[in-house]
Amino acid sequence: MEIDNKKLYGVGALFTSPNKVSDAAAKIAEKGYQDWDVHSSYPIHGMPKKMKLKWSPLGYFALIFGLTGTSIGLFLTYWTMSVDYPMIIGGKPSFSLPAFIPVLFELTVLLAAVGTALTMLFVLFKLPNNRHPLHDTDYMKEVSVDKSGIVVEAKDKLFNREEIIEIFKQLGADKILDINLDSDEVNYQPKILEPKFLIFLVIVAFGISFLGYFVNNKLLFMTPFNFMVDQQRLDAQSKSEFFRDGFGMRLPVEGTVARGQVYYQYKGKPELAEANLINPLVPSEKVLALGKKKYNTFCSPCHDYHGTGNGRLNGQFPNPPSLHSEKVRNWKDGHIYHIIVEGQNIMPSYALQLTEDERWSIIHYIRALQRSMNAKEEDLK
């Protein structure tokens, strides 16, 4: 059989044992060939060293991708937590590294892993091109069963068919064969952007987008999957078919008052409130405890825990006057009640936050505070 050198891809040799192929690989590497490779159906440890392969650059890619992940993580946490929408969590500074380290770590690992895998597939393996001259050859059939083999490619500078066959014979090859290129492979140029692959990518992208849309917007609202959404409950501000006017939210029935929701009749009339309102609660330990709790929650930020007006928000608003002044001490309970309900100057109304009993309890507590600062002589007895 005549051999057309143009179509010759290389010369292959098959070996029966992994030790033989290792020794052979070491010899071939020694001769200085560049374009050659070893194939076996399982990994042979120590082979890279025998073949005198250069260290794979993949590790550096992993390092670069990992560091990129760390930087992105740092930027993400810094930007979101300290610049774009500064948030204080648990009283810690908005930029506090210990809390971000898990994020940095995750992003480092994620980017390193994904980046390394993609680099390996698309840069080192040149993935979209799945064509290799060795595919579908007798050589590959043998190698993928129980043999190991070496191929020296024809494009190697030192390539000389007879010489290589001689070397393989000396190395104890089982079988030596020429590997020829198929006719369509001769002029084949690998392309980076294989049209087939691009079409595949587009289909995958569309497929995933459609699936995501379908699941999140359609599937979850279909009958067996919608049990969380579809409940026998009226959502706030939603329509109701039950009522004639179609409103889901109802006004109270005319002429009625809900429990504990007595109308405040002295709106805008502090004098009347002072004159007519009497504290219905008797100061007891329970009442004072409730008053203290509510006072500390709602009043103390401005008025301070002791009513001095020098509270925790000191400096952000004008300080309120002290609750120990002669004026406030002489106010009747009704006046203070009126202020709690309606607010005064920059103090807003606390009617929504505090129930009636709580307001009166707070007044008792304020009285106790006042008395603690301006005790009368009889208190000492």
Partner 1 sequence: MSEFEFKYERKELKTKYFTWGIVLLIIGLVGGIFGYIVDNERAAFANVIALTWITSIGIGAMFLIAIEYIVGAVWSVPFRRVAEFLSSLVLVAPLVALPALLNLHSIFHWSHIDAVETDFVLKNKSPYLNESFFYIRFIVTFLLWFLFYFMITRNSRIQDNTKDQSLTKKNAVLSAIFLPIFAITVTFFAIDWLMSLEPHWFSTIFGVYYFAGSVLATLAAFTFIAIKMHDNEYFSVKMSNDSFYSMGALLFAFTNFWAYIAFSQFMLIWYANLPEETFWYIARGNGSWMIWSLGIIVVKFIVPYAILLPQPAKSDKKRLKIVSLWILFGHFYDLYWLAMPTLNPAGVSISWIDFVFPAFAVGLLIVVFHIVSKNKNLVPIGDPRLRRGIEFKL
Q: Closer CB to partner 1, residue 113 or residue 234?
A: 113
Q: Closer CB to partner 1, residue 97 or residue 186?
A: 97
Task: Name the residue type at position 152.
Answer: V
Report how far residue 98's alpha carbon sits from residue 90's, in angstroms, rounded to the nearest whole number.
13
Residue in the block written with tokens 């330990």: 285
To partner 1, the closest distance from the beta carbon of 55 in angstroms equals: 9
**Crossing angle for the helix pair 356-373 and 333-342, to the nearest 10 degrees:** 120
Report how far residue 67's alpha carbon sits from residue 30's, in angstroms, rounded to the nearest whole number.
38
Token pair, residue 343, equals 């607010």
Q: Closer CB to partner 1, residue 80 or residue 96?
A: 96
To partner 1, the closest distance from the beta carbon of 5 in angstroms equals: 40
CA 136 to chain centre: 46
| Nearest partner of 344 among 290, 303, 294, 297, judged by Cα | 303
Q: Closer CB to partner 1, residue 101 or residue 203?
A: 101
To partner 1, the closest distance from the beta carbon of 344 in angstroms equals: 37
Contact 334, 341 (CB under 8 A): no
Q: Closer CB to partner 1, residue 97 or residue 201?
A: 97
To partner 1, the closest distance from the beta carbon of 47 in angstroms equals: 11
Local structure of residue 122 (DSSP, 8 states) = I
Q: Closer CB to partner 1, residue 48 or residue 309?
A: 48
Q: Closer CB to partner 1, residue 83 or residue 101?
A: 101
Cα radius of gyration (the chain): 42
To partner 1, the closest distance from the beta carbon of 45 in angstroms equals: 5
| Nearest partner of 337 among 275, 249, 289, judged by Cα | 275
Contact set with partner 1 (CB under 8 A): 19, 45-46, 59, 90-92, 98-99, 101-102
Report how far residue 94's alpha carbon sits from residue 77's, in angstroms, rounded to the nearest whole number.
10
Report how far residue 46's alpha carbon sits from residue 270's, in angstroms, rounded to the nearest whole number.
94
To partner 1, the closest distance from the beta carbon of 59 in angstroms equals: 7
To partner 1, the closest distance from the beta carbon of 102 in angstroms equals: 8
- Which alpha helices (DSSP H) does 32-80 contain, by range? 47-50, 58-78
